[in-house]
Amino acid sequence: MRSALWVLGILVFWEALALIKAQSVLFTGPSAIAAYIYSNASLLTRAGVATIHNAAWGFFWGTLSAVLLASIAMLLPRIERALSSLSLLVFCLPLVASGPILRVLFGPGEGPQITLAAMAVSYTTYLALLVGLRAIPQAWGDLLAIYGRGAWMMLLRIRAPASLPYLFVGLQIAAPAAILGAMIGEFTGAERGLGVLTLRAMRGLDVDATYALAILAATIALLAYGVIGWIARRTMGYAPVILLTPPKDNKPRLLWRQLLGLAALTLCVLLIWQVSMDAFGLNRFFAKRPVDVLAYFSQPDARATLFAAFLETLSMTVPGYLAGLLLGAGLAAVLMLVPAWSRGVMPVAVALRAVPIITTAPLIVLALGRGTTGTITIVAVMIFFPTLIACLQGLRQTPGQIVDVFNSYGAGRMRLLLTAQIPSMLPAFFASARMAVPAALLAVTTTEWLATGKGIGMLMALTASTSNYNMLWSCVALLSVAAVAAYALIAGIERLVLRVYATEQVR
Amino acid sequence: MKYSIKTTRRAFLQSAAALSATAAWPALKPAFAKENTAVNLQLSWLHSVQFGGSYIAKDKGYWKDLGLDVTLTQGGPNAPVEPPVVSGQAIMGISAADYAASAVAEGAPFKIIAVAMQKNPFAIASLTDNPVNTPADLVGKRIGMAVANTPVLKALCTLNNVDINEIEIVPTQYDPAPLVSGQVDCLLSWSTDLPVAMTMQGVDNTTMLLADYGYAVHSQTYIATTDTLANRRDQLVALLKGEIMGWNDYQDDTGAAAKLTVEMFPDAGLDLPTQELQASRQEELMFSELTKEYGFGWFTDETVAENIETLGLLGIDVSADLWDRSVLDEALS
């Protein structure tokens, strides 16, 4: 009842604001948006169905590939590092580079939209799943070993059930991402969908339509989020248990072995890059091979342009990344202390993430200017949501027995949070910190491309008019290296911390 | 456990069979039709009356009668024209002289075989109470444009002896909002989209065509690869023939073209008044004394020379080899 009043209050305030600013063609109120939705109901329904259809297939394929990859990583722990790095690289691939290639491969139709939605989904789900598959008590593993069962049984009987809560969190994070992926996929020349309409509404200065589409996309994402949450609550009978894992001998990997691993990985990536392009017969005009990029990179002019743009992009990515991470983890902690707030905060948080960046980016830039503030805000918003969800789930993973002990000693909520809940949250937090690396880069480059016209995102977008695909693929290579480096840095910090707090996660 | 795996496998096989059955369906369809050659024409942007002539050609069956089954694939912000044309997925694409010249410099074997827009659609849009009517009016104004388009403004300034340093460039994306909200005094845009949108929203505006002040860059040009020109010439001729017939109909009745566009793409979110206004604005860019005399899509050595000069100002080095009129000659004869 109270929340309904709140919603009503906000709507009345918004409408009043719209009446005051009635002269402005750039602002609109709820009544005008409702009128637009009412009079274009059939158009919006058809577009919504098209986008949902593509997002759903993308969600399906993305989740399937995440589950397969995570299972392989568990069964063959030796190749886990390589597998994780490769999926990171695929996830990092900028849409400006992958879009035209997918369109040439698939031709007219839904292929690119579904593929881009699947790519937006699979990586985050994969990472969440990996954490979950490892969150098992040592004793259970030992028991299975005593019975002479191998890794396969371990995966099926112990790891899989233990990973369910993490899988559902991954799926909840993925739901809005799938919608966004499908909408951006429509930019590659799709005939119908919410993304196509959004594009036209923004160009046509049709503010009612822009807001209506943003609200529609957000509602769809919210529903998907809610349904997954509901299924999770219905199906999960798994309560968190104390994961007592003895500390491992902490010998760091030898330097030469690390370097060897890196070299092998680089070679592997270059080989896949070259061979996959050759195998599909992609024309060298737009699908540049490693040699082309290397040759282009050796030109001082090109290098200077590239690095200047890269620094500009980095100067907005890093603050936005840190702000989003702190905000997400901080809010999760606050919600643990004051659970009553979560009824109000959670819908807003989900809605913020669900409103697709392609419609919010121009609005945020309009409000905060074309400087750094707008871009940093967008990055923070994109990262804050997955971090919040993952951290909340991590905090809830605190074993009941430990909470009971704290309660029977009359310890306060603050004490419980600091000494029991936050340490249980750490694996989930670091997983989301790693997930956020490519998400931050994607958010920045997309904003630069669609709204601010700066940095490396702009440099890549220029390709459309200059056909300078050497520059585009050099940008792709540089972004990939940066993402892998940032990822490795965070993974290093994570290992140091989790060695103390969650040994089962450390390999 | 075993049983559940079995059922899953059976369900999987069933759905796989269903899938392959669906995949086989389109193959059955054309069995009763006359065998026409299927070709893709890659458009440069989202569907709108910008490509009205092509829609007429398809709707009236001009291509069908010429033995072609044409698919019009739309472009978009992340769907450049050049890759599908280079890779042969599209037989012909709609590009512009500057884009095509850049692509050729990067190794694409393109030729411009016809020119739909005789006049370049680039314009300076401003609000009527603070108008830009001539290049000289730009002095002291703030212009909103993508930084990437700076060479365009530079070329205009050079052609009209205006000092570019007297103009303040504000980087914006392709969006009328900064002009309407007063962040800038004018915008660099096409005369057929953002100004039309502003007019439809009741914002009084003025446009100044760059083409009227010496900026000569062929736009909405038809491009094809040298390989296609050599080996699939008949198809190109037929394709252009249909285009010419479609665009001639367009000129006779732009209103009908707008109506057809809205009807043909119910999912594109187009509205008729906007399309009608765009269609009539576009007409003056596409049809000139030259096309009246020789036909749609025409270009001459003189217009090519003007283009080479303007492209030079844009920093694009190009020779007259980029243009090849042989297909158009055949299509018009």
In whole angstroms, how large is the CA radius of gyration of chain A?
A: 24
Whether residue B258 sits in one domain with residue B112: yes
Give the 3-state secondary structure of residue A507.
Answer: coil
Specify burial of residue A161 (Cβ count, 10 A radius: 0-12, 13-18, 19+). middle
Nearest to B177 among A100, A205, A454 (CB): A205
Whether residue B200 sits in one domain with residue B164: yes
Q: Which residue has the tokens 């990996």?
A: A130
Interface confidence, given as ipTM, is 0.78
Report pLDDT for A1: 57
Whether residue B320 sits in one domain with residue B263: yes
Whether residue B255 sits in one domain with residue B136: no
Task: Tell me if chain B has a CB within 8 Å of the CB of A475.
Answer: no
Domain limits for position B232: 35-118+217-332
User: In chain A, which residues have their Cβ closer than 8 Å to the Cβ of B194?
Assistant: 203, 205
Question: How many angstroms separate the CA atoms of B218 and B322, rounded?
Answer: 12
Closest residue of chain A to B101, computed from CA coordinates = A466
Q: Beta strands B122-127 and B186-190: pairing type?
A: antiparallel
Report pLDDT for B20: 47
Q: What is the CATH number of the domain that holds B60?
A: 3.40.190.10
Contacts of B147 (CB under 8 A, 6+ apart): A453, A458, B169, B171
DSSP A91-160: HH--HHHHHHHHHHHH-SSSHHHHHHHHHHHHHHHHHHHHHHHH---HHHHHHHHHTT--HHHIIIIIIH
CB–CB contact B173 A452 (8 Å): yes
Give the 3-state secondary structure of residue A299.
Answer: coil
CB B291 within 8 A of CB B298: yes
Report pLDDT for B323: 94
Superfamily (CATH H level) for A40-505: MetI-like (1.10.3720.10)
Report pLDDT for B22: 46
Structure tokens at B297: 């899509």
For chain A, list residues with pLDDT below 70. 1-3, 20-26, 237-253, 354, 356, 358-359, 361-363, 365-367, 369-371, 505-507
Whether residue B142 sits in one domain with residue B65: no
* Nearest CA-CA distance, residue A324 and chain B, Å: 26
* Interior/surface letters A444-480, b for 16+ CB within 10 angstroms, e for the rest: bbbbbbbbbbbbbbbbbbbbbbbbbbbbbbbbbbbbb
Which of B213, B248, B272 is where one domain is finished? B213
User: In chain B, which residues have their Cβ closer than 8 Å to the Cβ of A458?
Assistant: 147-148
In a domain, B5, yes or no: no
Give the 3-state secondary structure of residue B131.
Answer: coil
Whether residue B230 sits in one domain with residue B318: yes
Q: How many CA atoms lie less than 13 Å away from A104 in the CB half-sphere?
A: 25
User: In chain B, which residues have their Cβ closer than 8 Å to the Cβ of A184?
Assistant: 78
Nearest to B103 among A197, A451, A467 (CB): A467
Interface test with A, best of B4, B50, B78 (most A CBs within 10 A): B78
Structure tokens at A260: 């060897």
In a domain, B313, yes or no: yes
Structure tokens at B138: 């730009």
Size of interface A-B (CB pairs under 8 A): 158
User: Nearest to residue B118, comparing CAs of B251, B207, B254, B228?
Assistant: B251
Phi-psi region of A173 (alpha: psi -120 to 50; beta: other; left: phi over 0): alpha
CB B304 within 8 A of CB B323: yes
Whether residue B61 sits in one domain with residue B131: no
First-to-last alpha carbon distance for chain A, in angstroms, is 50
Question: How many angstroms separate the CA atoms of B53 and A365, rounded?
Answer: 37
Question: How many angstroms separate the CA atoms of A490 and B201, rounded?
Answer: 50
Nearest to B175 among A46, A103, A362 (CB): A362
User: In chain A, which residues have their Cβ closer than 8 Å to the Cβ of B87?
Assistant: 104, 282-283, 285-286
In a domain, B10, yes or no: no
Which of B148, B178, B213 is where one domain is finished? B213
Whether residue B245 sits in one domain with residue B106: yes
In whole angstroms, how large is the CA radius of gyration of chain B?
A: 23
Whether residue B177 sits in one domain with residue B309: no
* Nearest CA-CA distance, residue B160 and chain A, Å: 25
User: In chain A, which residues have their Cβ closer than 8 Å to the Cβ of B277?
Assistant: none
CB–CB contact B267 A466 (8 Å): no
* Nearest CA-CA distance, residue A417 and chain B, Å: 41
* Nearest CA-CA distance, residue B241 and chain A, Å: 24
What are the pLDDT tens digits along chain B (333 aa)?
334 444 455 554 454 444 444 444 444 444 445 578 999 999 998 899 999 999 999 999 999 999 999 999 988 888 889 999 998 889 999 999 999 999 999 889 999 999 999 999 999 999 999 999 999 999 999 998 877 788 899 999 999 999 999 999 887 777 788 888 888 999 999 999 899 989 988 889 999 999 999 999 999 999 999 999 999 999 999 999 999 999 999 999 999 999 999 999 998 888 899 999 999 999 999 999 889 999 999 999 999 999 999 999 888 899 999 999 999 999 988
User: Nearest to residue A334, comparing CAs of A326, B258, B162?
Assistant: A326
Phi-psi region of B204 (alpha: psi -120 to 50; beta: other; left: phi over 0): beta
Whether residue B222 sits in one domain with residue B138: no
Closest residue of chain A to B47, computed from CA coordinates = A191
Domain count, chain B: 2
Task: Tell me if chain B has a CB within 8 Å of the CB of A123.
Answer: no
CB–CB contact B87 A104 (8 Å): yes
- Chain centroid, CA B266 distance in Å: 20
Segment 93-122 of chain A within 8 Å of chain B by CB: 95-96, 99-101, 103-104, 107-108
Whether residue B234 sits in one domain with residue B305: yes
Report pLDDT for B5: 40
CB–CB contact A191 B47 (8 Å): yes
Question: How many angstroms separate the CA atoms of B235 and B233, rounded?
Answer: 5
Whether residue B292 sits in one domain with residue B235: yes
Interface test with B, best of A28, A49, A51, A203 (most B CBs within 10 A): A203
Q: What's the DSSP call for residue B271?
A: -
Domain range annotation of chain A: 40-505
Question: How many angstroms separate the CA atoms of A487 and A490, rounded?
Answer: 5
